[in-house]
Amino acid sequence: MPKVLVSDKLSPRAVEIFQARGIEVDVKTGLKPDELKAIIGAYDGLAIRSATKVTQEILDAATNLKVVGRAGIGVDNVDVPYASQKGVVVMNTPFGNAITTAEHAIAMMFALAREIPQANASTHAGKWEKSKFMGVELTGKTLGIIGCGNIGSIVATRGLGLRMKVIAFDPFLTPERAVDLGVEKVELNDLIARADFVSLHTPLTDKTRGILNADAIARMKKGARIINCARGGLIDEAALKAALESGHIAGAALDVFEQEPAKDNPLFGMDTVVCTPHLGASTSEAQENVALQVAEQISDFLLTGAVTNALNMPSVTAEEAPRLRPFMKLCDQLGSFAGQITETGLKSVRIEYQGAVADLNTRPLTATVLRGLLSPLLESVNMVSAPLAARDRGIEVLETKTETCRDYHSLIKLEVTTERQTRSVEGTLFGDALPRIVDINGIGVEAELGANMLYLINEDKPGFIGSLGTTIGNAGVNIASFHLGRADTEAGGQAICLVQVDGPVPDEALAAVSALPHVVQAKALSF
Ligand SMILES: NC(=O)C1=CN([C@@H]2O[C@H](COP(=O)(O)OP(=O)(O)OC[C@H]3O[C@@H](n4cnc5c(N)ncnc54)[C@H](O)[C@@H]3O)[C@@H](O)[C@H]2O)C=CC1
Ligand SMILES: O=C(O)CCC(=O)C(=O)O
């Protein structure tokens, strides 16, 4: 009988479900890392919220662990790449607490506007400071939403209901979706300059870390207010403190902090700051939803092998799995490649299956392409949610199949159209198992994608390859393999380089490469 450990506070419904499905379940909350490490080896499944940190050390000790289920959205407390390496499936529950979290953001906005927590404390203290607490009205104010995904779009609709003017910045928000939601799609600088209230709803990624840094905060309207119910790290807390002290920012409401649990924080004690201890998802409804969902998902997986809402594994049946697996790896690479070089809103995606692959069940393949494509931008995208996320964002997904294929046994072509341009990338399998990129934007190439790659578009000029090699060599970056392609048979046209390097490309090295003569575009990619 499989054994599951529930190591964070989950609704008791989760335990009932595990037991009803015939799974042995232990509930041990508040374990210290060493305590969890000592017992995790006995379990097949682990059900968590945000308190348990599933680190490399825990995963190394988890010799029987097959699945981690996060009752919630963010999986930043789980080392997902390492779990994948260890073959542990990581699942989450992408929608169960979205409404609740959006409501918390709105509650925080009201708390800020009317200083409710401060007035409450003062009244309890018997002070009756009626003239001290002069609020501001929300009606007619501009609410700026950074990150208009599941939660951000619910906040937007609630803001509109409060008769606010809602503006949103999200590179993946299409103009059509913005119209449907009734929000104005704007650029970040515009949002920062116009909003009376800024509410954050992005995941914490390399691109969003410090999205409200000292510079952004300085450019906000004087007297603006900030709400963060997404992730600590999106705001530079020291810069926020300075802006609150100077009076440039009138108030901030924070549910999340750079360091959690936040027992000591520079913003604590400021009378312009409202804090809650990461309560965004804490309603009985949301906790029931996510506990129920995670218990069902873990049970299904342990008992039948069915995979739902996994972040690191495709959902496929047992029979299909062996045939689809190598194509899934290829699809993930094609999608991830395109996603990492895409910088503006996606309009459409066309996936062409040619040759033998056209006979397979291509739905999981398309879902894998979309997951790879969207994962650089969305927090919790998986095989199940990727097609929905694409649909919700108005991205047209077109799949075509042709049984013939000119040069290969099977070929998959991904064509991505953004607001600015159309790009394509094609791949095949060598020896039925090894993914290879064979064409980028119509330029033939033959490349294996490693963990860290440098991708370049350049003018095909003599001496360029030499100066590129010297530049990255001088930056201490070792080249593992080098793949070249050019548009024309004659020299002088556009060319591409895909360079596999031993480790992440440092920012300085990328800047040096970008500054080389003849470089049109340089990107560091990771797979
Ligand atoms: N406080 C709490 O208890 C809770 C916090 N959360 C957090 O809320 C956040 C949002 O969750 P969801 O809406 O479910 O995620 P989502 O994935 O549906 O939406 C995130 C949105 O952020 C956008 N985005 C990504 N990079 C961006 C960038 N650089 N600039 C602007 N927008 C960008 C994406 O396009 C996407 O639309 C996550 O970090 C999640 O962990 C979620 C639930 C509870
Ligand atoms: O489980 C919780 O209380 C936190 C929820 C959260 O942050 C998430 O779902 O991303």
384 pLDDT more than 80:
no
In a shared domain, residues 252 and 138: yes
Region of poorest pLDDT, from 36-50, 236-250, 362-376, 481-495: 481-495
323 is catalytic: no
Is residue 73 in contact with ligand 2, taking CB distance under 6 Å? Answer: yes
Is 152 within a domain?
yes
Question: Is residue 311 in some structural domain?
Answer: no
Same domain, 373 and 258: no
Confidence of residue 8 (pLDDT cuts 50, 70, 90): very high
Range of the domain at 159: 98-275
Does residue 278 carry a catalytic annotation? Answer: yes
Report field, pTM of the whole predicted structure over 0.80: no
**Residues 374 and 259 reside in one and the same domain:** no
- CA R_g for the chain: 25
The CB of 72 under 6 Å from ligand 2? The reply is: yes
Query: Of the listed 158, 201, 231, 436, which one is catalytic?
Result: 231
Which CATH number is 370's domain given? 3.30.1330.90
**Does residue 142 sit in the same domain as residue 188?**
yes
Residues 49 and 114 in one domain: no
Q: What Å distances lie between residue 494 and 277, 414, 486, 510, 514, CA to CA?
A: 53, 20, 6, 20, 16
- Within this chain, do residues 135 and 250 fall inside the same structural domain, yes or no? yes
Give the angle subtended at the CA of 53 by the CAs of 153 and 378, to the nearest 5°: 25
Q: Is 260 a catalytic residue?
A: yes
Place of tokens 């996936």: 351
Q: Which of 24, 260, 320, 448 is catalytic?
A: 260
ipTM greater than 0.95:
yes
140: CATH:
3.40.50.720
pLDDT tens profile 179-231: 999 999 999 999 999 999 999 999 999 899 999 999 999 999 999 999 999 99
For 139-176, write each residue's pLDDT tens digit: 999 999 999 999 999 999 999 999 999 999 999 899 99
Which residues 6+ apart lie within 8 Å of 490 measured at CB?
none
> Which residue from 258, 461, 101 is spatially nearest to 267, judged by alpha carbons?
258
- The verdict on residue 356 lying in a domain is yes
Residue with CA nearest ligand 1 atom 36: 149
What value does the mean pLDDT take over residues 21-26?
98
Same domain? For 189 and 224 the reply is: yes
Regarding the beta carbon of 278 and ligand 1, being less than 6 Å apart is answered yes
pLDDT, one tens digit per residue, over 266-310 is 999 999 999 999 999 999 999 999 999 999 999 988 987 778 888
Res 318: pLDDT: 58
Q: What is the pLDDT of residue 119?
A: 98
Residues 120 and 256 in one domain: yes
Rounded Cα distance between 203 and 209, Å, is 9
Asked, for residue 485, whether it belongs to a domain, the answer is yes
Does 432 lie in the same domain as 381? yes
Q: Is the minimum distance from the CB of 454 to ligand 1 under 6 angstroms? A: no
Which of 8, 49, 234 to mutate to test ligand 2, by most ligand atoms within 8 A of the CB atom?
A: 49
In a domain, 309, yes or no: no
Query: Both 84 and 105 in a single domain?
Result: no
Rounded distance from Cα 340 to ligand 1 centre (Å):
18
**According to the 3-state scheme, what is the secondary structure of 71-105?**
CCCCCCCECHHHHHHCCCEEECCCCCCHHHHHHHH
Which of 515, 439, 438 is closest to 474 using CA atoms? Answer: 515
* Structural domains in the chain (count): 3
Q: How many residues does the chain have?
A: 527
**Mean pLDDT estimate for the chain:** 93
Q: Are residues 269 and 415 in the same domain?
A: no
Residue 37 lies in a domain: yes
243's torsion region: left (phi>0), alpha (psi -120 to 50) or beta?
A: alpha
Q: CB of 172 closer than 6 A to ligand 1?
A: yes
Residues 270 and 290 in one domain: no
Please report, rounded to a whole number, the percentage of residues in the chain having pLDDT higher than 70: 97
| Residue 414 clears pLDDT 80, i.e. is over it | yes
